[in-house]
Amino acid sequence: MKLLAMAYDAFLPSSLLFFSFFLTALLILPLILLFFSLSRKSAGSRLRPPGPSRLPIIGNLHLLGDMPHRSLEQLAKKYGDLMFLQLGQVPTIVISSARLARQVMKTHDHAFASRPALLSAQYLSYGCSDVTFSPYGPYWRQARKICVTELLGSRRIQSFQHIREEEIGRLVASIGSLADRLEGGGAADLSDAFFGLANNILCRVAFGKRFSKGGLNEILTETQALFAGFSVGDFFPSLRLLDVVTGLTGRLKANLRDLDRISSEIIAEHVDPGRPPPAHKDFVDVLLQVQREGNLDVPISDDNIKALVLDMFVAGTDTTSATLEWTMTELMRHPEVMRRTQDEIRSVARKGGTITESDLADLAYMRAVIKEALRLHLPVPLLVPRESIEPCELDGYIIPAKTRVLVNAYAIARDPHSWDDPETYRPERFLEKPIDFKGSQDFEFLPFGGGRRGCPGYSFGLATVELALARLLCHFDWSLADGVSLESLNLEEIFGLATRKKEPLLLIPRHSIESGFKLI
């Protein structure tokens, strides 16, 4: 009994101690759980970049406006160069500085190397089997390699020189004839002329022939409009049925049928045994040869060929014409820059009576003029959207996989941390600090994107822009249309596949008073 009493006396305090501990734990545990819950929530919020508050259902879509690149630039001034937006059901980050663009396009290029599956691309790029919209993977790597080595390499671009020379010669002759007729008044629509030039060059390079107005031109105009349009399903994947209701899906299917019909006819012409061997191979010829040789990791079908050729066409037409349009606009706004550019061009042209492609390397100031126009008027100001394929850390924030990434090249090109007096058109800045067109080292200037998803055809487009601009400035003096002053020259934009002038550029051409230049 004594032992039992001693045991009981020993147990009682320990049991009371245990009970007290248990009771205390019951009271404190909810507080501990609440603390960790709040801590996790706080940590989670730190893992997401800052951004504006969201509305139910639409998230931040209402903040984009008619000019998303401008709206996002203003939002970035408040929320930072790495900003989170919820665009419908799509988590999105927006990059607005050269430093962060370098991280996305170089340091973590692989993590951000894919593309979102946009509705227009799924239809018009034959299941996203082009280079621009194809998701990152073996097929895309092979398609890009084919484009870089077979279609857009320096030797292939050189082989298309005769097409550029002929089409730009036609444009110059047409404007020369127009200048004769306009002596009594009137102006030339350069916006339309530049679009026609880019269209004709791309048609001949891609398909092997020009197309008259109507037919393919109308079909491709619809294609470009559809690529630039708004799709509910791109922001609300669970509501893609609404694109059927709005008629967008029907338009896409109709345009695809038209594209497929003409593309199939073009391929049939190219494989016709009775077709004479071409003097110069076009894109379709090259791709059919690659298909026949079969030395591919992933075989390419006729539909893949159609997608790749159409990609080159759609990506090149609007951007090339917009670059020429904005460059001429800025030259008209800055007469002193125009005079200096023409002096440089004409001093070189005196050697042979006109400008040829071999002369372009001597036109350093003209190239700076084009770069500065591209800096202020990027054809694709938000570039093509990217999508992360794996979680990645940016500036201490974790960016999950399947996050859409918008690089606001417009905001980066006007960032005062990268550019002195960024709103001013001053080509000399590109002579003082040589910066390449290609976004591989200089991420403050991204007219053609950067990294592995950068535009592979920028050299081809620039060859057209440089030669066309040099010829037009060599052979003609230009003035604004009657009733238009430097102050009233409209600079409003239209946001689309490429950002173009809202109003056409109407200028009066006059034959240069300089003598000795051949009008070819």
Indicate whether 129 belongs to any domain: yes
Residues 310-352 have pLDDT tens digits of 998 888 889 999 999 999 999 999 999 999 999 999 999 987 7
Residues 408-450 have pLDDT tens digits of 999 999 999 999 999 999 999 999 988 988 867 889 999 999 9
Indicate whether 36 belongs to any domain: no
Q: Residue 283's domain is classified under what CATH number?
A: 1.10.630.10
Indicate whether 31 belongs to any domain: no
Tell me the residue range of the domain where 182 lies: 50-511
Indicate whether 421 belongs to any domain: yes
Indicate whether 13 belongs to any domain: no
Indicate whether 38 belongs to any domain: no
Identify the CA nearest to 367 among candidates 388, 341, 392.
341
Tokens coding 34: 């609440």
Identify the CA nearest to 216 among candidates 206, 230, 229.
206
Query: What is d(CA 161, CA 165) in angstroms, rounded to the nearest whole number?
Result: 6
Q: What is the DSSP string of 181-202?
A: HGGGS--EEHHHHHHHHHHHHH
In the predicted model, what is the mean pLDDT of residues 82-110?
97
Indicate whether 276 belongs to any domain: yes
Query: What is d(CA 416, CA 159) in angstroms, rounded to the nearest whole number?
Result: 41
Q: How many domains does the chain have?
A: 1
Block residue for tokens 């880019």: 198
Residue 163 has pLDDT above 60, yes or no: yes
* Backbone torsions φ then ψ of 55, nearest 5 degrees: -90, 155
Global pTM?
Answer: 0.88
Residues 144-158 have pLDDT tens digits of 999 999 999 889 999
Pairing relationship of beta strands 82-87 and 397-399 according to DSSP bridges: unpaired
| Helix, strand, or coil (residue 81) | coil
The pLDDT value recorded for residue 233 is 95
Contact 115, 386 (CB under 8 A): yes
Would you place residue 249 in the very low, low, confident or very high pLDDT band (cuts 50, 70, 90)?
very high
- Residue 455's contacts (CB-CB under 8 Å, 6 or more residues apart) are 315, 448, 449
Residue 10 has pLDDT above 90, yes or no: no
Indicate whether 450 belongs to any domain: yes
